[in-house]
Chains A and B, each alone.
Chain A
Amino acid sequence: MLNSAALGFVVLLSAVEAATNERVNYDYYKYHSMPEISKWMTQIAQNHSEVVTIMDYGQTYEKRNISLLKIGLSTGERKKAIWMDCGIHAREWIAPAFCQYFVSQILQTYKTDPKMEEMMKNMDFYVTPVLNVDGYLYSWKDNNTRLWRKNRSPGPPGCKCDGTDLNRNFDANWGTVGVSSDCCSNTYCGSDRVSEPEAQAVASFVGSRKEDILCFLTIHSYSQLLLIPYGNPNFIAPNQDELMEVGLAAAEAIKAVHGKIYKVGTSPAVLYANSGSSRDWARMQGIPFAYTFELRDNGTFGFELPENQIQPTCEEAYSGALHIVNYVHDKTFKGPMDGAGATAAAALWTVLLAVGVTSASM
């Protein structure tokens, strides 16, 4: 039996622990409503104020803020960056769950993992946990709205349906393939390219920083795929081979975690042709690495992935995303480390050593 003194001591310990515990008390393995996610973002920014700031970079149709977490060590200088967005499609709940997990992971590891610390020094991470805020909120409304995909802007005059497919709305071969002009369709591409405020927000923010952004990752579900540009089969990215190579390596990293197979390829090859995607737009802006992640599963539960799969899905996706981020970082800040790079480095050392020996013997 605890007596009151011992009980008091326990309470005191808890208070001390709470005060010093910078970790937000948050269950990353449950689905969270939009208000919960917003609150979490505020707490993360407060608890990690040395590396995290919230940036509101646009408004949805229903006039809600679209926000991201900017995460990185301040250097006072202009920095390169990684972009990640989740929840462009409302019903893909595992995607926002992953963005939150990703944030918690990098904040946890940068203090003890020299590699992550280095990446935080060299780059900023821009993470948007929920891009399609109106749609996500709508999918939480009741049992009848769970499978909503689009945003919530009204259809064109005379249309009895709402919503534009945000991932068909970007200015990237807009309206050419894999879209519908039927405003009731789930792939309705909008009244015009970038007609939607959510797409405009991304285009504006990323567009004004495109020279600095090394990598654009957009997170979706389901199908277990890593998709590379372009959705229109008539266009091939100049670095397609490299995108495939890095993607395949990321898929191997994913498989190593829980054995799940993610297929890699262009959308038209592996899934279907489409146009106006944010990934294609990013690549066309010159951002060299752009990937669409389609997370679990393969159709067993589809969009309604059980909460007991949130953790393993996030763990494997993190492994894949990290592989890409590592590659992109090292390529930018360390130069090519295989083949030519290593040989050149070795040659340089040989010359330096020879010069040193020659000098010493003089």
Chain B
Amino acid sequence: MIELVEVSKVYHRGPEVIQALDHLNVQIDAGEFVAITGKSGCGKSTLLHIIGGLESVSRGKVLLDGCDLAQLREPARTEFRRDRVGVVFQSFNLLPLLTLEENVALPRVLQGASYDQARQEAAHWLGEVGLSGRQGHKPHQVSGGEMQRAAIARALINQPAVILADEPTGNLDSVTAAQILALFSHLHRQWGKTIILVSHAPEAGSAADRVLRLADGRLLA
């Protein structure tokens, strides 16, 4: 279970203070599929990054199964990021130097798996997102949607309990977007993953168990 208690996030841009999240209280149960929507700049990505342990909070607590994320030391945080969440970012997702397969295999390798093992698993997950046959390509040789799908495969390879996805369908045509949404629903139903998805698409809302509406760093309704 993920629990955000009175979480605020403040950015300083010179003298300007930006309140990205404003005393936010959210609870997400294990195995839940949550969609987050809201206008651009309302704090969706910020929220996702905080849950993913990529950013610290200015005030408040993030509790994971009752354990405060802020209290974790760096090695434990690293393990958390590596083993327990899989993140799909809004734009920059893949290391340009590595092939799709290597990108996907990377979290597994970082975990300590053998290269051959990781490669095999990566091939499998690439197949799952419909990219079998493209594993040898580098990111700049494939399309935006394919990159996005590879990123999803990478988020899945360590079989994390939680998957965080920041507008994974943002740059995609409606057919592909629908395929990817279907993939998330499948993961949610078949594997019981907790899925937190930022998306403007109305289809996302209908696929999700619950929709959180953000505005100016606060939850609406």
Q: Tell me, yes or no, whether A binds B.
A: no
Residues of B within 8 A of A (CB): none
